[in-house]
Structure 1
């Protein structure tokens, strides 16, 4: 708590300081001034939570000081020191939002009472200000995040005017490129500030923090008039700043991707994609470099054709739930990619990495969906720092699929054996709870869920269908009575058997038998 004591009487001022330090020594920082003029000068370089001031002072009295503080620093709390004969002055101070007043002669208990009250209000005020500051910051970031997402992804099909407004562009006759600067670590406020310092003397440039990827800063480099002027005078200067950043000792922690130059502002999202695609080169070619997008990146990708056999083997291993075969094939694919990098141009490397990544994710998603396995493959391919990170990511997904498939195969085997058991023992009083605990040592609810997932029916419905099919077969043979048929298929209550049979086939067992008999006679 920062307190300013304004009192022209030296000993009174020192006594007040001593009293306050006696209780609040570790909780406050006290500054003293001998008059109002001196107090206003202290405000130039400081902020005070509380001002304790006498009323009668030379040059500027306490009421004039209170008026000045209320006008310039309305959030500062003011406490007036007043004598009895000056009480009418203290009343006037109310209009300057003076919080409390202390009567002379000063009494320790009264000072503590007043300060305890004010300290509580200051704490509440500070907390409220912090909360408001957080809300403002969050709201500002939310707006920036929404605008940047709209610009980058153009999900709302922004027109030219929308782009110009969001980017604060003066003319539609513009030439620009996007630079994506990626750091290995999440960007903090210090990095943001140092990043802005790099371009402090550069014109025609805007920098953004990419909230969608917390490791990225975006640089929007632009110019008007002519392409030659932009490339020669502006882009080259910005490129120099970017390269200089790497040479200043950040080579191991940063990589930069740059789009080609565009002349339509609505192509901002296209330029952003180009810059991020060129970044992919860092997987195989390393950090601490600037990679510039080239149209050669979109040429036919020969390595994808050459590696189709490897991808087919990878998919086959996954479909079989073979962890070792799938992992070995993944390593072969990465080895192929690394060998390809050593023999090809930089331009073709980035698109190859992206295509390989997408192909692997498509296969993983396809196998997972076919086997009803939940798999989160929505991670951005450039959210990894090294090839090893990417291999670890895919290895983890392969492990999840193979373990799930192994579990499902075991579960399928259990359900198949259970269905077979029902077919062979339908005439017994079967109970899923008993079967689960005594045969499969499972929780009955879990076994019930597995059974439904595998067969599409409940245990009781499957048992009922098997019993009814067997009853129909016995009724067709015309050898057993209806009572004997009921008992044979597991019903000791004949009336319940008849009711159940009718609910399924819309006729009683006797009616069904007559129908079958008539059909048999007609055939004969």
Structure 2
């Protein structure tokens, strides 16, 4: 991927450069600016590999732009465009660190040669940077691993000049990932990339051994249980291996890591007693999390339940609790807040039919592009409203399913009826059937069945001489005592009293 900024005060010229770039090999992410001042703003907002700029522009010309851009971004490749009359300016631009220049009107062949040369230079620089990062990362992991298992700070003296200990001092939480097989022997390179793409936040990744890896985070104010659950769901989705995660208590800096590692190993022992739980936390943090302020992980669980039950009213309620927490609290990092609210959007997209109408990646990208908490909340609210509209549309399309369920109840009320059985009859999930049935009829499914059975029981008591036990069986009650109690609760009199036309409730038991 090559990130390019095209700077020209003529829209037609910018479109022409876009077209020429589209003919080149590789993927291009292109930004535009109409003058030098706007171009500097774009450079400060996005990482850019290459800037293509005209010389003559209002507010700030290409020469001044190139000079300032080179001062702020020494590795930026710069190509300028100039007419024949501006050739002297083009030569002067070389002094400002311009990589190359292209005369106007642009010759496609000359442009192609220039871009090819620039691509090789960018690729070479990135390869060197990546190699340097890998070497530094390897050395940091080597020294950190030795310290975690030995607790000997003397060993870290060898790392002076290689390790930035001021960064290590910023760590406040660790998440231990453990697999049931030697998964990290072959996946230690791809796993951190996958997790970064999912979380969209920085962390230090340390591969401990074939079965274990450690994530180290900086944020003090963060619900790391929620982070761990996201990591678990990601790994479960991408890899056919069993994972368990342990979340450390809060700590200050790398000096505590040997002690923290021991605690994480103890927490991980829980998997032998509770293998179906995949995220373990420290008892100390669990006690802290029972305070007045509800943890994000718990609120997200409620939001997930609301969505699975199609309970929009509760969904809005729990979302507003989440929004209120962050509108009144500025101690959380912007990236963490975006991470929390992106989880709400991701939960909405668990509904496959809703996901089919929208693009999750676009919505999440939109949210991460927000610059204020209010914008983040508005993007999330927009998605919830779209989800609500989707459910309303689904309702109108689901009336046939509701009618089919009601018809089945009318004809099989004497049988054992339950939500799961009826959902299977119309090929819907039980949660979705429950939602659309209540929306359409105004009452939940179990109440609807009970009301219909009571009506049928009243009809049989009025028009036949069946014994109460027989009536009970005919309307789907296996236990006649329970039927009598339900009838009394519903009509205010016992079945025998109703049959006799006496509304007084008889305390004595009926002859059955």
TM-score of Structure 1 vs Structure 2, range by shorter chain: 0.3 to 0.5
Q: Give the TM-score of the pair, scaled to structure 2.
A: 0.37
TM-score, normalised on structure 1? 0.36
Question: Which is higher, the Rg of structure 1 or of structure 2?
Answer: 1
